[in-house]
Structure 1
Amino acid sequence: MDTLVDATAQSDAWMKAGLAAIRAALTGKNPVWVAIKALVSGLSGKAKVALVHILALEVLLAPVLLVLLLLVLDVAAVRAAAQ
């Protein structure tokens, strides 16, 4: 395992996240959170800023999407009741 880790030490963040998840699964920890932490720590500064902006945009747009979904369901219920 150490040879594999040393070989991928110079690779991208995705590979490091995958290895961290495997290592966490073998030790009984939650591999999802460990992989997310490893992925974020392996990203460049610009990628981290872009990730924060995407998450903030998602939080801002979630209520709008919920209202649109409720509107579509309301229209579908009215159409079903009219037939």
Structure 2
Amino acid sequence: DDSFATFFRETSSRKYVPRAIMVDLEQTVIDEVRTGTYRQLFHPEQLITGKEDAANNYARGHYSVGKDKIDMALDRIR
């Protein structure tokens, strides 16, 4: 079914994972997903975190702290 494949991807172990990428420069939020109830639902490569947050500052997140995470996120989208 093509509509199912739109939202989920089959892994080599025949598991289906959501086609979702979660990116956050501050890692504690994504760590809740990694260790929470639904941790087995998401592939670890789709959970991208940084080492520090951008302190609610777009320029800091885009141009300095998060600059290296942009390429990683775009890679996962492809």
Q: Same fold (TM over 0.5)?
A: no
**Higher relative contact order by CA 8 Å / sep ≥ 6: 1 or 2?**
2
Structure exhibiting the larger radius of gyration computed from Cα positions: 1
Greater per-residue strand proportion: 2
TM-score (norm 2): 0.31
